[in-house]
Structure 1
Amino acid sequence: MKNVLKHHRGVLELGPAHVPEIRPIGEAFFRRLEEGALRFIAGGFQPETRAVGQKTSTSFLRGQDHPLHWEGMLDLMDVILSGHNVTPHSGLHNRTPASVLNAHLTSGWHWEATELHRDAHELTTVRFNAKIRGDVKTGRHPFVQYQEGYYRSQRLMGRHDLVGKSFVAEVDLDDLRDLVLINPDDATVWSRLKVLPPWDLSPHDLHLRQQIIRAKNRGLIEIAGARDAVNAFHEFARSQPLRQGAPADLYARVDQQVQRQSKPAESTHRPVVQPRSGRTSFANSKD
């Protein structure tokens, strides 16, 4: 959404609901949905408004007697939306929404994102509250801990006055080697922290680090004195088939056999569709 608004001339229409003077296109769109389908569903009603002090029923059918058929409802909504897109609208100078969109596309508006790498990076970036740790008595410099990794920076060195305080931090889940602290005053980058050994050499995501941590907790590997935790874990994973005297592809072949055995046998009988209870049901109907 941010990429559409910033780079592709998109328009975000904000305003209070039920006020067609402020957002006429959106209100007309939702009104068509209400009047075309929602109000006539069994149990449908007009919600309470300022003009009408209480909700009023718009259908003489009870919802308890007529269960909703979800697939049929989706088809109905699709038909209503398609009809709205090809119906002239007075707010668009009697043009259809589809023609307005096509004219906007031909004027230079593109669907492709212009900043793919940055947008992809933002999708995998999460924020959390990071607490500054350290001990001035023992001379331990301030640091931030995340997923058993210790992060420091030059700006954080010697700042024992920040110990115990919290910062909003950002980290990319695809590469946990960097961590960013956000300045609480102006929401800018306060400092970029680097993770300490043995996590600083090889790129790794959150899933791989959690795998290494689980292996360490089970006593399978030891990374305390390792230069590169990721490389140590890869060496451990490659050495396991050799230690057990099994070929390297044994686990893959066993997994394929288990999948074939667990696959249910194909039935030659046609499935019987049980219609829903009630007077009206579309379970056995076809388009």
Structure 2
Amino acid sequence: MTDQADFSLEAWPTPDVGSLSTDVQADYFRRKRAVELCIEGASDATIKRKCGIGLKQATRLIKERCMAPSPDGLIFGFRGLVKHQRIAAPVRKKTVVLDQFGYGGTGAMGALLLGDPEFRKKLDSRILRVHKDTLLAEGKRHRGALWGWFLDELRARGYELRNEWPFNSVSLGYHALRNYTDALLKSKPTVLAHTVGGKDAVRKLRAGDGVNRPNLALFQRVEMDAHKLDGRFCVLMPAPGGGWVPRIIHRLWVIVIVEVVSRAVLGYHLSIRKEVNKEDVLRTIKCALTNWQPLEVSYCDKPLVEGAGLPPILGKDFIGICWKETSVDGALAETCKTVKDKLANVVGAELLSPENSFSVRRSLDDRPYIESFFRTLGDRALQRLSNTTGSKSTDPKKINPTGVALESQFQYEYLIELLQSLICNYNAAKHGALGYRSPLQMIKYYFEQGMLPERRADPELVQSLLSYRKLCLVHGGAAEGRAPFVNFDHGRYGGPAIADREDLVGTKVWMTNHIEDDARVARCTTINGQLVGVLRVAPPWDKLPHTISIRRSIKSFQNIKKIESLNNDAIRTFMKFVEAQKNNTLPVHPTYLEVRRILSQQAESFEGDSAAARALESLKGMAPVPSREEKHPESASNSNESKIRKIGKDAGKRALPTKRLAKD
């Protein structure tokens, strides 16, 4: 080693001399000087005169102590010169002979394994064995089982007949085996973590502790993830005999985008599907890039504290701020090509997933800020309610969440209002890690310092985030005796814009669902990008607003013969089908909840439109509408609301909590 060209004592690790006692320090400096003189080629007499030890002793210190491998992966270096520092485990050379008191067995375990390498290999393999997750095996191995195997193996090898250790000891080698097992597992941290905490502990060990995280600028990185809410909720559905019946719904998801530096929630979306898909992720991104207006809340007069909201509440300068990196956990809905392309083209952000970055699938330490937010959302909010499912199946907070949701009629529409209050108030709450500033105050502080990013998302591109396009063939024409039309996702589209375009028959065109939550119309363009016009869908899809995903779901019901005919109005037929189901124990289908959301939104946003009027009428056939004479005395729909309340009263049902579904 010392003959190598790049050998240098300056590269040797050194101990913390200040932590040593005076005597140990003096002995260390003598040994160190002796090693340096030995390397320089000094004589034995010179080394002995200056350091008190000879050349032979200095050479032994270098070979046996300084050049020995250290547990940290380096050599001991000068650290091996510290007095009483154990470099290697002791090796017993004499035969184990215990006295009458049981003493004299020091190093017996090491001597046994050193003399029988084959047995040592079998023992190490058994201790370090890790089963696959798909195999049936003992999760946490008991020390007694290993000890029993240990004795059986040695007994088969004749140790008991020869009365050799451990059969001549009182403990039969139990303590020695335990110490050896602990030392071996400590040398294999991954196996030890799997033995103690399973695969989650292994992921946490591999993920790191965040010490070397980079110093990021504001809006340089955001974290996005989905969280299943810890609560049960219901929806009110019309009963055949009149009134309303609460029906339980499956557990819902919330998708959130958190900015890393300020800890602010930029956008969120409540998904009513059983599993999150790419559409939910895109809605969350759109929420983070558009202006925010608070929803009207029915459960209290002041749901938001002063200054609460999403970042756009601070002013126009905070609308559509783009970020550079989006950290996700690798879920398919977040890493699909559509989401990746939208982030790159609209936001200009790179997607950080387990395939191209440091992040690990389902590791809490790789997205600490959003996981901390979800923990806060559960511990300080939803888990405090009696309809909570708890954080796990054995959580004592979980009593009877389904029964509570049905009895209290905690509707998911109320959850939308509650989530707004929780998230917006979180943005206005002071954080100790931010110098007791709130996330919104932190963003405003960076803005005042001129450190807010200048890039803003194009509003037109943001509005097109949820658009869907497909290459379709133009059918019909004079040869078939009918106007040209296009089949686009189970719908037949036509209209004046394409009625006279015989030149397009037999060619392919791009069909784009360009209006969010309304697939009744679609934009048609040629392959060369020339606009043909806006086409309308034919019955039975032309009555009420819906999305492409809703249409696909309803069509799947018809394909498996659950719905025989869609009649003249597919949406209304599907709603009646779901409401007529007799099995009230199963959760309501998520497509039904999505239809309710769109109809409510259309009735609120496009009041006066004929389609909106039909949506409002559909809503009134689905759920009770609260009275608003105090807020809107001039409303023309008060008489209709009275009729609805009268129906519920005549049906003999107890009064239900008012539910706001649409502005009238």
More contact order relative to length (CA 8 Å, sep ≥ 6): 1
Q: Where on the TM-score scale, by shorter chain, does this alignment land: which range?
A: 0.3 to 0.5
Q: If you compute each CA radius of gyration, which structure gives the higher value, 1 or 2?
A: 2
Q: TM-score, normalised by structure 1?
A: 0.46
Of Structure 1 and Structure 2, which has the larger fraction of its residues in helix? 2
